[in-house]
Amino acid sequence: MGNGTAIITGGSRGIGAATARLAAAAGWDVCVNYARSDKAAQAIVAEVEATGARGLAVQADVAEEADILHLFDTAAEQLGPVTALVNNAGVIAPQMRFAEMSAERIARILAVNTYGALLCAREAVRRMAKSRGGQGGVIVNVSSMAARLGSPNEYVDYAASKGAIDTLTVGLAKEVGNEGIRVNAVRPGLIDTDIHADGGAPDRAHRLGVSTPMGRAGTAEEVAETIVWLMSEKSAYVTGACIDVSGGR
Ligand code: NAP
């Protein structure tokens, strides 16, 4: 196969799972990371392998540095040098006003969405950088339109955790441009996945999607198409970009 090894954090469901399927079809060997959904991750690996690509599921909580090191080591050992990271794992918590949020909730949101994404990006750079013996690569961070809209009365903590992802994207792209590494982000809008149920509003994407310029929620596949384009040589001169995939929201 053509492209090398891609790690997709949170690849067991939603946008990550759709990205795993499309990346495999585009010639990537795919390491599907997950936190709890073992069966779902194994099912995505089977779909990856059905395309002729190699697949691997690795359990790792991206909020734990030791788990991240295990994830990157296992992917490289089993599939070969990692040349793409899709920093996708993310969580929200039930909608509430900011003043009501517990310290534990805020810490967990930042641990998974921000700290985890930063450490995964660091590991990717350590392994991809040409000055460190790597062969270059691509990092695609999954941010959110929340980073720009702020999610008042719902998830200001989550929005702030994603604002950091946009800043990471811009700064790291500038830092590692001469290392053969491109760093970009997508900002999904209202996408129909399970994440909204975790936030206490399973119908949120459809309910609010009708009021967006395109009049509907987006699909995980529509976000994955942009991610896989950013992973590909077709976007060879794109770095430091944050692309809205939001139907104009
Ligand atoms: P989802 O359907 O809830 O899937 C989340 C994925 O992340 C699952 O594979 C989950 O694994 C994994 N995950 C959660 N915590 C993890 C951890 N600590 N370590 C490793 N993996 C973990 O969510 P989604 O909607 O596809 O969201 C994917 C990304 O898009 C997130 O970063 C989210 O913030 C962003 N996003 C989504 C939307 C939207 O409307 N859906 C909009 C903007 C941005 P398990 O299955 O094992 O729990």
Q: What is the set of domains in the chain, with CATH numbers?
A: 4-245 (3.40.50.720)
Residue 170: closest CA among 156, 187, 188: 187
Contacts 24+ apart (CB under 8 A), 33-36: 33/7, 33/8, 33/9, 33/57, 33/58, 33/59, 33/60, 33/62, 33/71, 33/89, 34/10, 34/58, 34/59, 35/10, 35/59, 35/60, 35/61, 35/62, 35/89
Handedness of CA 102, 105, 108, 110 (dihedral sign): negative
State pLDDT tens for residues 58-73. Answer: 999 999 999 999 999 9
Instruction: Give the pLDDT confidence score for residue 1 in this predicted structure.
Output: 42
Instruction: Give the pLDDT confidence score for residue 2 in this predicted structure.
Output: 63
181 in ligand 1 pocket by Cβ < 6 Å? no
Q: Which of 140, 192, 193, 204 has the most ligand 1 atoms within 8 A of CB, as the residue to mutate? A: 193
Q: Which residues of the chain have pLDDT under 70?
A: 1-2
d(CA 80, CA 9): 17
Minimum CA distance residue for ligand 1 atom 32: 90
State pLDDT tens for residues 118-127. Answer: 999 999 999 9
- Cα-to-centroid distance, 90 and ligand 1 (Å): 4
State pLDDT tens for residues 1-35. Answer: 468 999 999 999 999 999 999 999 999 999 999 99
Minimum CA distance residue for ligand 1 atom 41: 191
188 in ligand 1 pocket by Cβ < 6 Å? yes
Please give the model's pTM, rounded to 2 decimal places.
Answer: 0.98
d(CA 30, CA 19): 10
